[in-house]
Amino acid sequence: MRTDVNCFLGSYPYRRVPGTSPDAVLAAMDRAGIDEAWVSHLPGIFWRDPAAGNAWLLETTSRHKRLKPVLAVHPELAGWEDVVLDAAEAGAPAVRCDPTYYGIAPSGAAMRALVGACGRAGIPLILAVRLEDGRQRHPHDHAAELPAAAVRSLIRADAAARIIITHADRPFVEEVHFGSTPEEAARTWWDICWIWGPPEDHLEILLQTIGPDRFVFGTGQPLRIPENAVAKLDLLELAPEDRAAIEAGNAAAACNAAGSR
């Protein structure tokens, strides 16, 4: 079983990206041996009301059982609490928020309220550090990357909160992990899509220093080719149980710990 917690459907506003339709993503999943993907609505991240893409996402994923909806929540727009409850009710594996793209403070009062609501609803919150390499972004793409300080602040905001961070590199992971208590760190998971393999061996080092329980399989597809996340696991000497945990078990644990699904 391999679960991709970091997958998108729909077009990207800053360049042409092939393979963004549900059928194309499913074909890419087949190619990369991915059984299930948690999918976010990519265009919605850039909309003034990101939740406006949720209906399409729910309808689409209802027709493709391997795709699980990650609903978008903007915690400064009226009715956002209902989105969190609707997601939990719909059995969504997580909700997502992209505060720097929405133009809101990444660890402000609204975000802290969102974390609390997710904790109460028993659903993990997904936050992305970035979507693209900062050196290639469109000249008009000015959204800041998610600061590590915001993640440390948010995980402290509610003892029931569970947060999955995508697109983080090794320094980001270490800063948050070792800047948190063990209890806080145990409520944080990291997708592997942006962590380097050999010869720098960032992922191998993190698995030694932090442990395999904190990492989940994520690709960032179709913005990134999914083969990358598989290749970096194939380059590790992992015990089968650790690989299984990274590929699916830890994501399931994040959901179960949060009480969803």
Partner 1 sequence: MLIDVHAHFLHERTPRADWAERNASRLRAGERVGITIHVASILGSWGHTSPTYFPSPADCTYGNDRMLALQREHPERIRGYVTVNPNYTEHALAEMGRCLDAGMIGLKLAASRRADDPLLDPLCALARDRGVPVLHHIWQHRRRDYAGQEASDAVELGRLAARHRSVQFILAHIGGGGDWLGTLPVIHGLPNILVDLSGSGVDGGMLEACLEAVGVERLLWGCDLTIETGWAKLRYLEHLLKPADLEQVRWGNAARIFPPGAFPTH
Q: Which of residues 180-219 bind partner 1 (CB under 8 A)?
A: 196-201
Q: Are 39 and 70 in contact (CB under 8 A)?
A: yes
Tell me the C-alpha distance between 6 and 219, whole Å: 6
CB of 156 to partner 1, least distance (A): 31
CB of 230 to partner 1, least distance (A): 7
Told to check if 222 binds partner 1 by CB under 8 A, we report yes
Q: Which two tokens stand for residue 74?
A: 């903007």
Our CB check for partner 1 shows the closer of 80 and 190 to be: 190
Tell me the C-alpha distance between 85 and 89, whole Å: 6
Residue from 133, 144, 159, 171 touching partner 1 (CB under 8 A): that is 133
Buried-state track 68-99, b at ≥16 Cβ within 10 A, e below 16: bbbbbbbbbbeebeebbebbbeeebbbbbbbb
Residue from 48, 135, 140, 142 touching partner 1 (CB under 8 A): that is 135
Q: Count of residues for the chain?
A: 261
Contact letters (x/-) for partner 1, 18-37, by CB under 8 A? xx-----------x------
CB of 201 to partner 1, least distance (A): 5
What sign has the CA pseudo-torsion 183, 240, 91, 220? positive
Residues that bind partner 1 (CB under 8 A): 15-19, 31, 132-133, 135-136, 139, 196-201, 221-225, 227-228, 230-232, 234-235
